[in-house]
């Protein structure tokens, strides 16, 4: 096997964690491989440093226009995270289309699947994206087989939901390239002992701490998250979690410091905020999608919970 070259196209506000969770397994694998392993490089659209979501300036090896002038990479990974729609400019989309026939494998980490889909590079492929964007992503790109998997490898397209899922993805790739033994050695070196398959859901939206400590609370939260547009009543939630309403209220107060109704409202408003900042849906449509029968009641709840109006978030 020859040296395999991974090239990362960084879009502004990318996630440091996602980038390093992707590169560090490759570096670690090289220490266990007898012979050619992996190499990597970073690129930006203009060749200048890119600012991450944490404010770090990440220097790159070269600009996207020089990508094919040196050693052509085997894999191009697009890393997009915060405000990914804004950063998926026409120039980014056009360049991805141009590179399609020159690079063997193209992928996206975190929200990097968005520019790939916009460039029509995922049409007819199975793909994933960060869990918070899956619903809007699947609605916008009907030609993509969108799933909630931690990562997807479909022929010459790869994608992952970001952060720790990038690590899962790279361990799977290392295992395929050099065998399970090398992948286990990398996992041990990185003290990562919870490797999950790609088909594992990114998350059930409930933190593991709640799932382990208060299973009935976790069941209630899952019900809420599955019923955003048509909210359940508190009595219905209690009934479907097989616990009294009084006990469930105590659980919410003790663990989350909020009432059932208060937590549910916040959940719906946070969902609405993502739609406001990451889609072009109008406010009335977003209010309905978030379970509000009127725009006025939606605006009041938004202001009460977030301290600003929907218009403020849409403007920003």
Domains defined along the chain, listed by start: 4-189 (3.40.50.880), 208-315 (1.10.10.60)
pLDDT, residue 47, reads 93
Specify whether the CB–CB gap between 88 and 123 falls below 8 A: no
pLDDT, residue 199, reads 54
Phi-psi region of 47 (alpha: psi -120 to 50; beta: other; left: phi over 0): left
Indicate the SS3 state at residue 58: strand
Specify whether the CB–CB gap between 55 and 101 falls below 8 A: no
**Residue 66 carries which DSSP code?**
G
pLDDT, residue 281, reads 83
Specify whether the CB–CB gap between 187 and 195 falls below 8 A: yes
CB atoms within 10 A of CB 220: 26
CB atoms within 10 A of CB 207: 12
Q: How far apart are CA 13 and CA 178, in angstroms?
A: 33
| CB-neighbour burial class of residue 197 (10 A; exposed 0-12, middle 13-18, buried 19+) | exposed
Block means of pLDDT (10 residues each) for the chain, 316 residues, are: 89 95 95 90 96 95 86 92 92 95 94 96 95 86 93 95 89 92 89 61 57 81 91 94 92 90 92 82 91 92 92 80
Q: How far apart are CA 96 and CA 148, in angstroms?
A: 24
pLDDT, residue 279, reads 76
Specify whether the CB–CB gap between 6 and 174 falls below 8 A: no
Q: Which distant-in-sequence residues (6+ apart) come within 8 Å of 259 by Cβ?
A: 249, 252, 253
pLDDT, residue 211, reads 65
Phi-psi region of 124 (alpha: psi -120 to 50; beta: other; left: phi over 0): left
In degrees, to the nearest 5, what angle opens at C-alpha 43 toward C-alphas 42 and 49? 95
Q: What's the full length of the chain, in residues?
A: 316
b/e 37-58 (16+ beta carbons within 10 angstroms → b) = bbbbebbbbeeeebebbeeeee
In degrees, to the nearest 5, what angle opens at C-alpha 211 toward C-alphas 216 and 268? 75
pLDDT, residue 195, reads 55
pLDDT, residue 202, reads 57
CB atoms within 10 A of CB 235: 11
Give the pTM: 0.74
DSSP string, 261-274: HHHHHHHHHHHHHH
């Amino acid at each position: 096997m020859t040296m395999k070259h991974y090239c990362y196209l960084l879009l502004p506000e990318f996630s440091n964690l996602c980038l390093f969770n992707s590169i560090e397994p490759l570096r670690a694998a090289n220490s266990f491989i007898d012979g050619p392993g992996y190499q990597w490089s970073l690129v930006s659209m203009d060749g200048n440093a890119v600012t991450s979501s944490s404010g770090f300036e990440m220097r790159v090896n070269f600009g996207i226009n020089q990508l094919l002038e040196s050693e052509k990479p085997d894999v191009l990974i697009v890393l997009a995270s915060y405000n990914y729609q804004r950063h998926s400019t026409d120039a980014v989309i056009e360049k991805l289309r141009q590179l399609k026939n020159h690079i063997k494998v193209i992928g996206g980490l975190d929200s990097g699947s968005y520019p790939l889909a916009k460039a029509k590079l995922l049409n007819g492929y199975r793909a994933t994206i960060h869990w918070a964007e899956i619903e809007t992503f699947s609605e916008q790109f009907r030609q993509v087989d969108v799933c909630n998997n931690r990562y997807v490898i479909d022929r010459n397209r790869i994608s992952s939901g970001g952060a720790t899922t990038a690590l899962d993805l790279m361990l799977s790739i290392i295992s395929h390239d050099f065998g399970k033994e090398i992948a286990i050695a990398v996992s041990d070196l990185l003290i990562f002992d919870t490797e999950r398959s790609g088909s594992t859901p990114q998350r059930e939206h409930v933190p593991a701490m709640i799932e382990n400590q208060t299973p009935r609370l976790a069941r209630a939260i899952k019900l809420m998250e599955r019923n955003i547009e048509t909210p359940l009543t508190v009595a219905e939630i209690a009934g479907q979690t097989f616990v009294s309403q009084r006990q469930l209220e105590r659980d919410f107060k003790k663990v989350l410091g909020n009432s059932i109704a208060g937590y549910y409202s916040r959940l719906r408003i946070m969902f609405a905020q993502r739609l406001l900042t990451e889609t072009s849906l109008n406010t009335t449509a977003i209010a309905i999608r978030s379970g509000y029968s009127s725009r006025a009641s939606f605006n009041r709840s938004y202001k009460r919970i977030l301290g600003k109006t929907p218009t403020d978030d849409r403007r920003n």
